[in-house]
Amino acid sequence: MSAAPAASVALEALRRNCAEVPLLTLGEDTAPYLTDHRRLYHGQALAVALPRSAAQVSALLACCHSLGIAVVPQGGNTSYCGGATPDESGQQLVIGLGHMNRVRAIDTANYSITVEAGCLLAHVQRAADAAGCYFPLELGSAGSCQIGGNLATNAGGLNVLRFGMARELALGIEAVLPDGRVFQRLRSLRKDNTGYDLKSLLIGSEGTLGIITAATLKLWPPLRRRATAFVAVADVAAAIALLAQLRAAAGERLHSFELLPRAAVELACRFIADTRAPLDGAHAWYVLCELSSFVDEPLDELLQNALVQASSLGWVLDAALAASEAQRRAFWSLRETIPEAQRRAGPGVKHDISVPVSALPAFVAEASAWVRREVPAGTLVAYGHAGDGNLHFNINWLGGAAAADVARQEPLIRRAIHDLVVAHGGSISAEHGIGRLKVAELQHYTSPVELDLMREIKRALDPKGIMNPGKLLAP
C-alpha cells in the first residue's frame, strides 16, 4: 500500500468529498469502534464514518482509493478474530455500517428478503417472522452482529447442519468495491449461471475486497414443530454414532447437533445465574440435539424412539426431552452461555476448528491427550457444532493463571492443535474467519498455489491494498 496522507489532509478530503456522511473523530465517540469484542486488540483510527446509503459508502471508498487511505469495515464488532478492529497507526478509517439498517423488501411468494448490511441478525429474523417466514441463521451474537458482518465472515452457527452457512443463505448482494464502484447483484434467483460467482467471492472475504451494503437472503416457511433433547453419551464416538442414527431416522428434520463436555456444562452452571444441568449424575459428554419440521407432525415421538434405540445400542446413557418451550430455551441457554462462562472463568486459548465428522473421535482423543500431557494446568473445554464437524477446542486455566503466561504459551499450543487438525483433514478456521488473529496460521497451512490465487484476486480488486490491511492475508 502507498504511503498514507497526513491525518489532517485525509480528514479534510473526507469532509470535502463526503460532506453528508457523519464522521466521528472525538475519543469518546470513536472508543467503542477501536477494541474488539474479546478485547484482544486496541487500535486507533483516523475517524469513524457512519454512512446511511450505498451511495455514501461509494463516495467514501472513492475518496479513500484516490488518497490511499486504509479502510476497516465494521459491522456489529463481534468478530472473534479481531477482523473489524483498526491497527494502532491512527491512519485507518473505520466505516461502521450500523446506520444502514432498513429492510428493503420481503417477497413471501419467492421466499426472499432484501436487507441493508447494518441490520442486526435478530432484526432480520424478526422481520422474516413477522412476514410468516423463517430465516435460519442463528448465532449466540444475533442481538449484536449484523447481516453484513455475517456475510463478510460467512458465519456458521447453530443451524448449519440443516440450512448451511451464511453463503448458502444469500441469493444476491450489493457491495461497494475498493475504488467506489457499486457491484449490484441483488437478484433473488435460485438459478443463475451467468459467469463467475462474484457474490460468493465477496462473501467470506472479511472486508478485504469491498464493503457489502445489502443482501437478498433465502427464507423458509415457518417451523411448526420442534423436538429437543439433552443427552448423555459415553464418548465422542458414541455421539457420532448417535448423529448418524438421527440422520437416518429424521432425515432433513435434524436441525442442530451440539456436543458439550462435562467441563462446559459445569462452567455454565458455575458462572451463569439460573443455569442448571438438565440431567442428574455426571457424564463425560453430552449432546444437545433438535429436530424441526415445517409441518405438524409428532417429532417428540420420533426423537424419543431414536434415543431409545440408541440407548439399546449403548450410545445413549441418559436423556431429557424438553417438555415445554421454557425447558427447550433452558437447554439452549446453557449451550449459548458457555462462551461467557469461559470468559468469566479466566484466561484461555481458543481454537475454531473443523474436521470431517468421521474424524472427530480420533481428533478429540489425540488432541485431548496432547493437552493433558503438555498443558497440565489447563482444562479442555471442547464444545460446539459437532453435527458439521466444528468444535471450539478451547483450553481454560481454571486454577487461575496470569493472562501474560497464557499468552506466552498460546502460539505453541495453537500450532500443535492446528497441526493435529490438518493431519485429520480439517480446517484451522471453521466459521470465525482469519481476521488479525490467524493471518500467520493461514499463511503457514495454505498451499502456495492457493495463497498466490488469493493474492492475485486481492490485487485485481484492491490494487492499492486499502481494504482492511493486515487482515486475512499477510502483506
* Residues of the shown chain interacting with ligand FAD in the complex, contacts defined by CB under 6 A: 37, 72-80, 83-84, 97, 117, 139-141, 145-146, 148-150, 152-153, 155-157, 206-207, 211-212, 339, 431-432, 435, 468, 471
Residue 320 C-beta: closest distance to ligand FAD, Å: 23
Find the shortest distance in angstroms from Cβ 79 to ligand FAD: 3
Question: Residue 30 or residue 293: which is nearer to ligand FAD going by CB?
Answer: 30
Instruction: Write down the least CB distance from residue 297 to ligand FAD, Å.
Output: 28
Task: For residue 264, give the C-alpha cell.
Answer: 462446559
Q: Which 8-state DSSP code applies to residue 167? A: H
On the CB side of 232, CA atoms within 13 Å amount to 14
Among residues 468, 470, 422, the alpha carbon closest in space to that of 446 is found at 422
Beta carbon of residue 338, minimum distance to ligand FAD (angstroms, whole number): 9
Nearer of residues 149 and 389 to ligand FAD, judged by Cβ = 149
How many Å apart are CA 353 and CA 362, to the nearest integer?
Answer: 14
The span from the CA of 361 to the CA of 234, in Å, is 12
Query: Which is closer to ligand FAD, CB of 56 or CB of 74?
Result: 74
Whichever of 307 and 355 has its CB closer to ligand FAD, that residue is: 355
Q: Which is nearer to ligand FAD, 212 or 250 (CB)?
A: 212
DSSP secondary-structure letter at 352?
E
Straight-line distance from the first to the last Cα atom of the chain, in angstroms, rounded to the nearest whole number: 9
Residues 73 and 207 sit within 8 Å (Cβ to Cβ): yes
Q: What are the distances in angstroms from CA 465 to CA 70, 198, 207, 350?
A: 8, 19, 12, 29
**Nearer of residues 112 and 208 to ligand FAD, judged by Cβ:** 208
Smaller CB distance to ligand FAD: residue 91 or 146? 146
Handedness of CA 77, 81, 84, 90 (dihedral sign): positive
Residue 391 in grid coordinates = 468444535
Which residue's Cβ lies closest to ligand FAD? 149
**Within 13 Å of residue 278, how many CA atoms lie on the same side as its CB?**
27
Separation of alpha carbons 354 and 351, rounded Å: 10
* Three-state secondary structure call for residue 100: coil
Shortest spacing between CB 268 and ligand FAD, in angstroms: 13
Minimum CB separation from ligand FAD for residue 96, in Å? Answer: 8
Question: What one-letter code names the amino acid at 314?
Answer: G
- Least distance (Å) between residue 306 CB and ligand FAD: 25
Task: Please give the backbone phi and psi of residue 125, each rounded to the nearest 5 degrees, phi first.
Answer: -60, -45
Chain Cα centroid distance, residue 138? 10
Nearest to ligand FAD of 261, 470 (CB atom): 470
* CB nearer ligand FAD, residue 22 or residue 304: 22
Residue 172 and residue 216 in contact, taking contact as beta carbons nearer than 8 Å: yes
Shortest gap between Cβ of 314 and ligand FAD (angstroms)?
Answer: 31
Minimum distance between the CB of residue 281 and ligand FAD, rounded to whole angstroms?
Answer: 28
Of 209 and 302, CB closest to ligand FAD: 209
Rounded (10°) angle between helices 236-250 and 299-312: 140
Nearest to 424 by CA among 359, 371, 337: 359
Minimum Å gap between C-beta 134 and ligand FAD is: 18
We find the least distance from the C-beta atom of residue 122 to ligand FAD, in angstroms, to be 12
Alpha carbons 81 and 154: distance in angstroms, whole number: 13
Provide, rounded to whole angstroms, the least separation between the CB of residue 112 and ligand FAD: 19
Distance CA 202, CA 154 (A): 10
Cα separations (Å) of 232 from 62, 216, 229, 287, 289?
Answer: 56, 40, 10, 6, 11
Residue 73 or 387: the one with the smaller Cβ distance to ligand FAD is 73
What is the chain's percent helix, strand, coil content, to nearest 5? 40, 20, 40
Number of other residues whose CB lies within 10 A of the CB of residue 450: 11
Q: Which is nearer to ligand FAD, 125 or 146 (CB)?
A: 146
